[in-house]
């Protein structure tokens, strides 16, 4: 397994180096993600330069909460009952984001 924090800037030289590293490590998959507020230009540029070497196997979108108020934690941990309307009201004030995860097959 090999992990990168960020795809390199999609230049021919950088993508050639990425290919070399993937081949040296016998990596057959590329797993990437994009967040709703982040540009996916690096991923799009990488896909364009890799051409037929990357084939999309699947993608999935995940919604997640990035903030959960302390008073909600206390209420839930105290086993208090939260009715549907109250949960909807609380959830409306909770930060939410979206991440899309892509899985590509890599062929050297």
pLDDT per residue as tens digits for the range 64-102: 765 556 666 556 656 666 677 776 776 676 666 778 899
Whole-Å CA distances, 82 to 67, 69, 75, 96: 18, 14, 8, 20
Say if CB 50 and CB 10 are below 8 A apart: no
Query: Which domains are present in the chain?
Result: 12-106 (3.30.110)
Taking the whole predicted model, whether its pTM rises above 0.85 is answered as no
pLDDT per residue as tens digits for the range 11-63: 999 999 999 999 999 999 999 988 765 668 889 999 999 999 999 999 998 87
Helix count and strand count (H, E) for the chain? 4, 3
């Amino acid at each position: 397994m090999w992990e990168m924090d960020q795809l390199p800037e999609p230049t021919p030289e950088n993508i050639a180096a990425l290919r070399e590293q993937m081949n040296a490590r016998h990596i057959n998959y590329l797993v990437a993600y994009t967040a709703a507020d982040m540009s996916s230009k690096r991923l799009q540029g990488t896909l364009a330069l890799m051409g037929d070497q990357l084939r999309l196997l699947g993608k999935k979108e995940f919604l997640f909460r990035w903030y959960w108020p302390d008073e909600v934690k206390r209420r839930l941990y105290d086993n208090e009952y939260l009715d549907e309307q109250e949960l909807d009201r609380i959830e409306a004030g909770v930060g939410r984001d979206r991440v899309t995860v892509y899985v590509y097959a890599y062929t050297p």
